[in-house]
Amino acid sequence: MHTVVVGTSGVTASDVLAVARGGARIELADEAVAALAAAREIVDALAAKPEPVYGVSTGFGALASRHISPELRAQLQRNIVRSHAAGMGPRVEREVVRALMFLRLKTVCSGHTGVRPEVARTMADILNAGITPVVHEYGSLGCSGDLAPLSHCALTLMGEGDAEGPDGTVRPAGELLAEHGIAPVELREKEGLALLNGTDGMLGMLVMALADLDTLYKSADVTAALSLEALLGTDKVLAPELHAIRPHPGQSASAANMLAVLKGSELTGHHQDGAPRVQDAYSVRCAPQVAGAGRDTLAHARLVAERELAAAVDNPLVLPDGRVESNGNFHGAPVAYVLDFLAIAAADLGSIAERRTDRLLDKNRSHGLPPFLADDAGVDSGLMIAQYTQAALVSEMKRLAVPASVDSIPSSAMQEDHVSMGWSAARKLRTAVDNLTRIVAIELYAATRAIELREGLAPAPASRAVIDAVRAAGVQGPGPDRFLSPDLEAADAFVRGGQVVTAVEAVTGPLL
C-alpha cells in the first residue's frame, strides 16, 4: 500500500488524494516528531508562567479575556471540542473527512501548533485504521477555519462521539478506537484549540475538485470536438497560429486537444447540400475560448491550493524564537475565492456544452440530422428530454455559481465579525462538479449518436475510439426509443471514470 510521509514543510495535492481517496497509510517523518516536541516545550514553558497566553491559559474567542487556572486547563481543552462539535445535517462524504483530518495533521506536524507528538501519532493511527469521524454538512463559517467539522474529528480523537468503521458501520468512536488498539487522547494546553483552527475542509475539497475538473475539462474538449464533427463544422478555427495571437495558455491547450481529436476526420468541413457556412455558431467556434478560460482559472486555483498546502494554519502560532502569537491565518478568504471562481467557470462550461447538444437535436440547425436524433421522429422522441435534463442541470449550475464568499455573517459576540463562508463555497462546488459531469455525459451521448447517424463519411480515429469505448461500456447507440435513464447513467459513469480521456489518448497520446 502507498505510504505518505508527513514532514514539517507541508504536503502535496497527490498526497491528499492518496489519503482521501486511495486509503494510503501515513507515517510521521523524524523531523516532524522533533519539531512537535520542540514546539511543545515552548507551550509547556508558557503554561507554567503566571501571565495569560491566548489558547494556552485563556478562554477562546469572545471569552479570551478570562485567565484559566492550571487545574481547569485540561477541562478547557475537552470542553472546546465538545461544545464546538455542533454540526447538523447530512453526513459529509468519507473522502472529505479523511482529507480534513489529514490536512489538520499536516499543520500539526509543522511544529507551529504546540501539539504533542503523541497527538499527531494518534491522528495518523485513526486514519490508518480506516476510522472516519461523523462530520455534518452545516457548522462551518470558514473562520476561524472549519470549526465544527474539525471539532467532530477531534471528538473522535478523544474517544467520544460517533465514527464510521472500516466496514462502513457507524458506531461509538470509543469502541472503534479500542478495537484497533488506539488509546484516546487526553488533551492538554493549546491542543484542543490547535485541532480546530484551520481551513482544512475547504482546502481538501478544493484539491479534490481540481483533480476532478482537470479530467472534466479534457473530457469537455473531447465532447466539443465530437459535436463539431457531428455538425459538419470546420476545424480551421482550431489552428494553433490563430490561438497564439491571443496567448491565453488554456485556450491554446483546449484548441490543441480538439484538433488532436479531429485529426483524420472525413466529417469536418462538409456542408449540407453543398451550401457553405461562413462560420460555425459560437458554441462550436468559441469552445476553446470558454474551456480555455476555465483551464486558466484552474491554474490560478491550483496555485492557491499549493500555497495553502505548504502553510501552517492555526491560531495562535508557535514561533521558533519562543513566541506564541495570535494571528488571522485561519481566515478562509484565499481558498473561498477560488472555490467560487471554479464554480463560475464550471457553470459556463456546462452552459456552452448544453448549447451544442441543443444544436445537435434541432433539425433547423443540425445540418441534416434527424429531429432530436430520433429513429422515427414523431413516433420516437429521441433525445428530446435528455436535453431537458441537461438544461435543468445547467440552470442548477448557474445558481451554484452565485459566490458564497461575498457573504459574511457575524458570530462569537462580534469577535468573529467577518467570515469567509469557504466551507459553503466548497460544498456547492462539489455539487457543481457532479452536475458538470452529467452535462458532459449528455453531450457525449448526443454527439456519439449524431456521428453514427452521419452515413458515408468516417469520423476521426480518436472519435471512433470514443464511440467504440462508450458502446462497450453499455451506452447504446441510435435506434428506436427506449428507457433512456440507464443509458445516461452509463454515460455519466464513463465520463466520471475518466474513460473519455483514456479512449482518446490511446489514439492521440496525452492530451494537454
Is the bond preceding 478 in cis, omega lying within 30 degrees of 0? Answer: no
- Across 270-335, the runs of DSSP E, i.e. the strands, are 317-318, 324-325
Give the H/E segment covering residue 289. Answer: helix 287-309
Closest to 288 (Cα-Cα) out of 310, 260, 307, 308: 260
DSSP 434-472: HHHHHHHHHHHHHHHHHHHH--SSPPPHHHHHHHHHHHH
Beta strands in 279-384 (DSSP E): 317-318, 324-325
> How far from 398 is each of 169, 281, 358, 486, CA to CA, in Å?
36, 22, 18, 26
| Joined grid coordinates for residue 212 | 476532478
Question: 388 an active-site residue?
Answer: no
Q: What is the C-alpha to C-alpha distance for residues 152 and 134, in angstroms, rounded to an integer?
A: 7
- Catalytic residue, candidates 54, 138, 282, 445: 54
Q: 287-309 and 13-20 are packed helices; what angle lies between their axes, rounded to 10 degrees?
A: 90
Q: Which residues contact 292 (CB under 8 A, 6 or more apart)?
A: 248, 249, 250, 251, 252, 253, 254, 255
Burial class (CB in 10 A: 0-12, 13-18, 19+), 57: buried
Neighbours of 226 (CB within 10 A): 32
Query: Do the beta carbons of residue 411 and residue 454 sit within 8 Å?
Result: no
Are residues 291 and 217 in contact, defined by beta-carbon separation less than 8 angstroms? yes
Rounded Cα gap, residues 281 and 287, in angstroms:
10
- Using alpha carbons only, give the angle 233, 262, 472 rounded to the nearest 5 degrees: 110
Q: Report residue 239 as a C-alpha cell.
A: 489552428
User: Does residue 4 sit in helix, strand or coil?
Assistant: strand
Produce one character per residue of 449-459: b if its CB has 16 or more CB atoms within 10 Å, e if not.
bbbebbeeeeb
Residue type, 391: A
Cβ contact 192:229 at 8 Å: no
Contacts of 235 (CB under 8 A, 6+ apart): 228, 258, 259, 262, 265, 268, 269
Using CA atoms, how far apart are residues 139 and 334, in angstroms rounded to an integer? 20
Q: Is 91 helix (H, G, I), strand (E, B) or coil?
A: strand
Residues with active-site annotation: 54
